[in-house]
Amino acid sequence: MKKKNLSIIGVGLMGGSIGLSIKKLKLPYHVVGIGRNRARLSKALKFGICDQVTTDLVQGVKDAELVIICTPVEEIVPTIKKIYSYLKPGAILTDVGSTKGKLLKEVEAFYFTLKNPPIFIGGHPLAGSEKTGAVNSSPDLYQGSTVVLCPLESQPIKKYLIELRNFWKGLGAKTIILEPEIHDILVAQTSHLPHILASGLVRFIERLIKQDSNSIQLLAGSFRDLTRIADSDPIQWAQICSQNENFILGSIRSYRDLLTRIINQIENSKNSFSEWESFFSGAKKARKELLKKNPKLG
């Protein structure tokens, strides 16, 4: 079977894992890795992530049937502007950015100025790690994951959407189609809020330790498990949150309302044991149901 040309712009954790998945599953793609750092690209080649690497954007994408932009979110539109005129007809352009609303509005505004813009389908794989870089890539990162796809309203993309969905299916992921704003509202609560809570708890305990150094000896598995994702790349998460802060603000307010209800329960309870038991047993039951619906969470 003839291999299709696939270009990955930004060979970090996400892009590197795409390359390794393709190799492990023996999918028919010739993978070109594109980046700015020659040393990192050389490692990507050595690790078997890519078949070919280059620092030249134009050379890297000109023969590709599929181009996946794996850069930070704020670099995606500038990258599209640099490469759009060099893409071959029928090439699919997509990304792995964690926010979609602002991004797709910017792409739509730019495409409005073009006569024949390339096909762009926004993408967000719900997969990752607090670790970064191609060295932490995994060939199994996308197995069982969900990839959200957000097509542009202005483009008739049915056959291209089918092709992109088949690509992700080949990597072991399932795909769903969402409107960009709906995507951003949901991930603000399911992804962005947990990162903020984890980092907030670390800062909270940091203050406690300054007040009483004995508290460092009392940290155990619950603190470790709840705060693991606070070890994520701070620059990356600052970029993500700044792109979606309106919806993140809404999710924080909703969580604040939950905490307020707990406070009121404690202050006004006549049978605190019963209410605490109901709170924790309800959460345990809900978690079991969530795991049934999404086994990868277990």
In percent, the amount of the chain with pLDDT more than 90 equals: 86
Hunting for tokens 């750092």 — which residue is that? 37
- What domains appear along the chain, each with residue ranges and CATH number? 4-178 (3.40.50.720), 183-297 (1.10.3660.10)
Please give the pLDDT value at position 135.
Answer: 77
Mean pLDDT of 58-74: 96
Which residues partner with 68 through β-bridges? 8, 94
- Arithmetic mean of pLDDT, 25-43: 94
Give per-residue pLDDT as tens, 233-244: 999 999 999 999
In the predicted model, is pLDDT for residue 73 greater than 80?
Answer: yes
Q: How confident is the model at residue 294 (pLDDT cuts 50, 70, 90)?
A: confident
Tell me the mean pLDDT in the region 162-166: 97
Task: Report the half-sphere exposure of 198 (CA within 13 A, side-chain side).
Answer: 19
Q: Is 93 exposed, middle or buried (0-12, 13-18, 19+ CB in 10 A)?
A: buried
Burial class (CB in 10 A: 0-12, 13-18, 19+), 202: middle
Please give the pLDDT value at position 166.
97
